[in-house]
Amino acid sequence: QVQLVESGGGLVQAGGSLRLSCAVSGRTVRSYAMGWFRQGTGKEREFVATISWSVGVTSYADSVKGRFTISRDNAKNTVYLQMNSLNSEDTAVYYCNAHRKVGDNEYDYWGQGTQVTVSS
């Protein structure tokens, strides 16, 4: 079992920045890939970024490349999402995700979500 708690959302003006945090706890957390997803009103949940605990390999959605940075602090078991140059399209509930695949089985854990609102 993995527990995820997000924080850091809020209201920001277009062009501004926010940093989201995801505190991770539970057994074998290092075996999970960590990611951020978001869901805007009336939209499907979409991938934002992912990072591996071990070597820190990252991947980003095209819509956030060059503006968002995912990172992790192994000592604090925390994953971050630094968001710069925010625009109205980034308004959404952001969810932290822990993903693991074991054989044919996939395991996903989600946080409760944190709202990010970008005003124009």
**For 9-29, what is each residue's pLDDT tens digit?**
999 999 999 999 999 999 888
Rounded-to-integer distance, Cα 109 and Cα 23, Å = 13
Confidence label for 30 from pLDDT (cuts 50, 70 and 90): confident
> Residue 104 pairs with which residues in a beta bridge?
none
Contact predicate 72/82, CB 8 Å: no
Confidence label for 98 from pLDDT (cuts 50, 70 and 90): very high
Q: How far is CA 112 from CA 16, 85, 94, 105, in A?
A: 24, 25, 9, 23
**For 41-64, what is each residue's pLDDT tens digit?**
999 999 999 999 888 899 999 999
Query: Is a pLDDT exceeding 90 seen at residue 1?
Result: no
Contact predicate 89/68, CB 8 Å: no
